[in-house]
């Protein structure tokens, strides 16, 4: 199976990270290609980390 890996670097993205992840997860890929999302949090000083962890816990099996 083919996999598309998406790497998202973040730094103080508390206002945008959920929008980005929601958009990525809403895209349906063709030919049974799966998605892998890697988020690299570069020591954000805001709530980015907590928001990412909350998103992951609420979306364990995103489409």
Over the stretch 7-31, which tens digit does the pLDDT of each residue have?
999 999 999 999 999 999 999 999 9
- The whole-model pTM stands at 0.85
Three-state secondary-structure class, residue 21: helix
Q: Is the pLDDT of residue 54 over 70?
A: yes
In a domain, 36, yes or no: yes
For residue 32, the Cα-to-chain-centroid distance in whole angstroms is 19
In a domain, 63, yes or no: no
Q: Is the pLDDT of residue 47 over 60?
A: yes
In a domain, 20, yes or no: yes
Contact 51, 18 (CB under 8 A): yes
The count of domains in the chain is: 1
pLDDT at 60: 78
Q: Is the pLDDT of residue 63 over 50?
A: no
Contact 10, 46 (CB under 8 A): no
In a domain, 33, yes or no: yes
In a domain, 31, yes or no: yes
pLDDT at 61: 65
The counts of H helices and E strands in the chain are: 2, 2
In a domain, 49, yes or no: yes
Q: Which domain holds residue 23?
A: 3-58
């Amino acid at each position: 199976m083919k996999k598309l890996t998406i790497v998202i670097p973040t730094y103080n993205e508390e206002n945008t990270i959920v929008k980005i992840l929601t958009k990525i997860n809403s895209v349906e890929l063709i030919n049974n290609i799966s998605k892998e999302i890697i988020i690299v949090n570069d020591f954000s000083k805001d709530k980015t980390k907590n928001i990412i962890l909350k998103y992951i816990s609420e979306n364990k099996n995103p489409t």
